[in-house]
């Protein structure tokens, strides 16, 4: 969800103004997923590296997170959305953790969209925490190193049972993954929107992104002919 700061700066406002306006884009994206019956949406809300931003901005984002969760959770629940979060949640302020916990608890049995907020998250952090958990199992002889495979490793990642990423959309014009879901995006389709800052992102952009995704041929290392024969 990139470009909030620049969007605000263009209007002569503080960066936090852009983050506040990003909430409308979040709502539109969640609604669009509902309309298309997309089962998983993961939003890169706050990265491990974002802790290095000025204190006033970090505090502003945390306050916004708490306020938005409290305000939106009842509506998410009504719409059968299951709220989750991935990341080093212990590093979040206690009131943010509490607000999230309440949201998880209320929505845990919902069967519609799984909305995951990546908070204090980075792909490298995720891989390291999975390795640590697995190494501990090996140490306790609960698993042997030869038995570790991709499927088992993936279960130790913060995303747990969430399938790998099909489509990764980045607004704001930068063409990089910025330490997001590194393992989970090994075969993702990447879409970089050069002319859209996150506060401007609307359902129409999302639908267009999905239409572009549908035109891509996902070969997963195979040839185009093999893929065509498989789908016959």
From start to end of 87-195, where are the E strands? 114-121, 167-170, 189-192
The CA–CA distances, whole Å, from 21 to 52, 112, 197 equal 22, 26, 11
Among 16, 26, 100, 118, binds ligand FPP (CB under 6 A): 26
Regarding 22 and contact with ligand FPP (CB under 6 A), the answer is yes
The answer to whether the beta carbons of residues 168 and 191 sit under 8 Å apart is yes
Residue 162 engages ligand FPP in binding (rule: CB under 6 A): no
Q: In terms of CB distance, is 61 or 134 closer to ligand FPP?
A: 61
CA 179 to CA 202: how far, in whole Å? 25
Residue 29 is a binding residue for ligand FPP (CB under 6 A): no
User: How many chain residues are in contact with ligand FPP, going by CB under 6 A?
Assistant: 21
DSSP-derived 3-state class of residue 94: helix
Query: Segment contacting ligand FPP (CB under 6 A): 65-73, 127-135, 148-156, 179-187?
Result: 65-73
Question: Is 225 a catalytic site residue?
Answer: no
112 and 79 in contact (C-beta within 8 Å)? yes
Residue 149 among the catalytic residues: no
- Residue of 44, 116, 31, 134 lying closest to 78 (CA atoms): 31
Number of H helices, E strands in the chain: 8, 5
Q: Could you say whether residue 189 binds ligand FPP (CB under 6 A)?
A: no
Q: Are 119 and 92 in contact (CB under 8 A)?
A: yes
Q: Between 172 and 189, name the residue whose CB sits nearer to ligand FPP.
A: 172
Q: Any contact of residue 50 with ligand FPP (CB under 6 A)?
A: yes
Nearer to ligand FPP, 156 or 180 (CB): 180
CB-nearer residue toward ligand FPP: 54 or 145: 54
Residues binding ligand FPP (CB under 6 A): 1-6, 15, 19, 22, 26, 43, 45-46, 50, 61, 64-65, 68-69, 117, 172
Residues acting as catalytic residues? 2, 50
């Amino acid at each position: 969800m990139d470009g909030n700061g620049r969007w605000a700066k263009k209007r002569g406002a503080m960066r936090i103004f852009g983050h506040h306006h990003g909430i409308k884009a979040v709502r539109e994206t969640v609604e669009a997923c509902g309309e298309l019956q997309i089962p998983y949406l993961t939003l890169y809300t706050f990265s491990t590296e974002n802790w290095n931003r000025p204190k006033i901005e970090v505090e502003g984002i945390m306050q916004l997170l708490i306020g938005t969760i409290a305000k939106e959770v009842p509506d998410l629940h009504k719409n059968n959305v299951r709220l989750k979060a991935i990341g080093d949640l212990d590093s979040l302020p206690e009131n943010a953790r509490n607000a999230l916990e309440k949201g998880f608890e209320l929505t845990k049995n919902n069967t519609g969209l799984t909305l995951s907020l990546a908070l204090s998250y980075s792909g490298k952090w995720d891989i390291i925490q999975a390795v640590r958990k697995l190494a501990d199992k090996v140490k306790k002889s609960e698993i042997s190193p030869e038995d570790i495979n991709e499927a088992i490793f993936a279960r130790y990642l913060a995303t747990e049972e969430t399938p790998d990423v099909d489509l990764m959309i980045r607004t704001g014009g930068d063409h990089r993954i910025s330490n997001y879901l590194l393992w989970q995006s090994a075969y993702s389709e990447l879409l970089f929107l050069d002319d859209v800052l996150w506060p401007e992102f609307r359902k129409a952009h999302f639908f267009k992104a999905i239409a572009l995704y549908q035109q891509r041929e996902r070969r997963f290392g195979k040839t185009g002919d093999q893929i065509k024969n498989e789908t016959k």
